[in-house]
Amino acid sequence: MEPRVILIVSIISVLVLTDLTVADEECYQKAVEVVQPILNHFVELKMAAHNSQLKDLINKINIKDEQIKALIESSEEQKNTINTLTKNNDALIKAQSGNEELIRIIKSEISQKNNEINSFKTQICEDLKKASEEKDYFNIKLLSCSDNINKNKNSLLDKNVGEIQEKTDQAMSKESQNKDLTSQINVLPQNLTKTIENVGKCDEISPCPTASKGLFHIKHPEVSAFEAPCNGSGWMVIQRRMDGNVDFDRNWTEYRDGFGNLRGEFFLGLEKVHLITQSRQHELLIRLGKVNGSTDFVQYDNFRIGSEKDSYPLESVGNPTGGAGDSLIEHHLNIKFSTIDRDNDVACRNCASYMGGGWWFNNCGYSNLNGRFYKDGKTDDENGIIWGSWHEYDWSVSLTFVEMMIRPKPF
Ligand SMILES: [Ca+2]
């Protein structure tokens, strides 16, 4: 039965009973007994309805909980993603830092390699220098050997000529020897003629008078007439230093052609000295003076310089005599001439720029009579006028007087 019908029947019954019977306490009790279960039923129905709504609510709450859980899980995932990204970012930063360190290490290695290359270059330069010095040393040895061979050859030749002359009379009857002897005899007059010619030339090319001194017009078969100072003993002055009034830092052309003041400081010129000393054997006299007034000299018996084509090398000096000692043979013989604009030396640097003037610079050597003039006779720059063997190879010394002179070697 429907609850609504039950309710209506119950109400009607109560009304009937209330109206038809006596409205007393007993009647009321009966009514309550009838209605009470109905009311209880309604209450139960209500409760059931409420319970149903409650269940719905609980379901909704559960759904919401699930959604919230899902959101939380999603949030966790995002958080994890963010953490992962942060870690990746940290790793990238670390990698970047690592790259910078790598670059720094590579740069450091490059710098080290550069240093090694520079050191290697320096070593090569030193080796080249050493090799060049050894080459010079062997050249000198070779020349010395060559001189000795020539001397021996000449000596033997002279000896042979003598022997042949002796044997000529004895071997006249022998046809086989006769041919050789005739040839030798033919050579003798030619040599004699040559010697006579040379003797004649000697008179022509003696450039300075032996009895008077001063400036003279010099005539020489190989050179155009020029003026030069003569010292009165047949010596012609080819270079002089005395007061520092002339700058000796000159270029190649000036050293070739000469410069300065013939009555004071000057350099006669390499070309003239070359032509004169090539024509016959010459002596070289060098007079030196220090700031304290002391003087000395050195004389060589076979001075000769080569041609411009070969850079005016110091081809020969011969044997030295004199208290100033030798400062040419060991380091300057067979060495080309160098000037500030013509670096023919064997040093890595430009010796003419470093030492001053022009000279037969090797690496750079023991002498430089064209160095810079220091009136007080000393310098900290090692570029003064030097002749090592006379001042104990003290390169702070600078000489204050020099004269270089030449004359034909007497027969
Ligand atoms: Ca050089």
Structure confidence at residue 160 (pLDDT): 60
CA 393 to the chain's CA centroid: 28
Q: How far apart are CA 59 and CA 71, in angstroms?
A: 18
Q: Greater confidence, 45 or 142?
A: 45
Amino acid at 118: N
The answer to whether 369 and 354 are in contact (CB under 8 A) is no
pLDDT band at 34 (very low <50, low <70, confident <90, very high): confident
Decide if pLDDT at 200 tops 50: no
Give distance in angstroms: CA of 139 to centre of ligand 1. 19
Structure confidence at residue 192 (pLDDT): 45
Structure confidence at residue 198 (pLDDT): 44
Give distance in angstroms: CA of 338 to centre of ligand 1. 9
Q: Greater confidence, 378 or 211?
A: 378
Give distance in angstroms: CA of 358 to centre of ligand 1. 13
Q: How far apart are CA 328 and CA 335, in angstroms?
A: 10
The number of C-alpha atoms within 13 Å of 199 and in the hemisphere containing its C-beta is 7
Structure confidence at residue 157 (pLDDT): 55
Structure confidence at residue 22 (pLDDT): 47
Give distance in angstroms: CA of 344 to centre of ligand 1. 6
Domain ranges of the chain: 1-127, 213-408
pLDDT band at 332 (very low <50, low <70, confident <90, very high): very high
Q: How far apart are CA 116 and CA 120, in angstroms?
A: 6
- First CA to last CA across the chain, in angstroms? 174
The answer to whether 129 and 363 are in contact (CB under 8 A) is yes
Structure confidence at residue 238 (pLDDT): 98
pLDDT band at 154 (very low <50, low <70, confident <90, very high): low
Flag the least confident range among 133-147, 244-258, 348-362, 368-382: 133-147
Q: How far apart are CA 36 and CA 12, in angstroms?
A: 15
pTM: 0.53
Give distance in angstroms: CA of 315 to centre of ligand 1. 20
- CA-based diameter of the chain, in Å? 213
Strand partners, 157: none
Give distance in angstroms: CA of 368 to centre of ligand 1. 15
Q: Greater confidence, 159 or 274?
A: 274
Flag the least confident range among 22-36, 238-252, 343-357: 22-36
Give distance in angstroms: CA of 365 to centre of ligand 1. 12
Matching CATH number, 213-408, of 3.40.50.1220, 3.90.215.10, 3.40.50.720, 2.40.40.20:
3.90.215.10
Give distance in angstroms: CA of 227 to centre of ligand 1. 34
Give distance in angstroms: CA of 239 to centre of ligand 1. 24
Give distance in angstroms: CA of 347 to centre of ligand 1. 4
CA 121 to the chain's CA centroid: 6
Region 208-237: mean pLDDT is 91
Q: Greater confidence, 84 or 151?
A: 84
What angle in degrees, to the nearest 10, is found between the helix axes of 270-279 and 175-205?
140
Give distance in angstroms: CA of 349 to centre of ligand 1. 4
Q: Greater confidence, 160 or 193?
A: 160
Give distance in angstroms: CA of 159 to centre of ligand 1. 47
Dihedral (Cα; 129, 134, 140, 143), 10-degree rounding: -120
pLDDT band at 220 (very low <50, low <70, confident <90, very high): confident
The answer to whether 242 and 256 are in contact (CB under 8 A) is no
Give distance in angstroms: CA of 132 to centre of ligand 1. 11
Give distance in angstroms: CA of 348 to centre of ligand 1. 5
pLDDT band at 203 (very low <50, low <70, confident <90, very high): very low
Structure confidence at residue 186 (pLDDT): 55
Contacts of 359 (CB under 8 A, 6+ apart): 332, 337, 338, 351, 352, 365, 367, 368, 369, 370, 371
Structure confidence at residue 189 (pLDDT): 47
Give distance in angstroms: CA of 360 to centre of ligand 1. 12
Instruction: For residue 301, give the nearest of 279, 315, 319 by alpha carbon.
Output: 319
Give distance in angstroms: CA of 351 to centre of ligand 1. 6
Q: What is the pLDDT of residues 65-89, one digit of tens each?
A: 787 688 768 778 878 876 876 687 6
CA 182 to the chain's CA centroid: 66
Exposed e or buried b per residue across 165-182, where buried means at least 16 C-beta atoms within 10 angstroms of its C-beta: eeebeeeeeeeeeeeebe
Q: What is the pLDDT of residues 99-116, one digit of tens each?
A: 788 868 767 786 787 777
Give distance in angstroms: CA of 28 to centre of ligand 1. 147
Decide if pLDDT at 8 tops 90: no
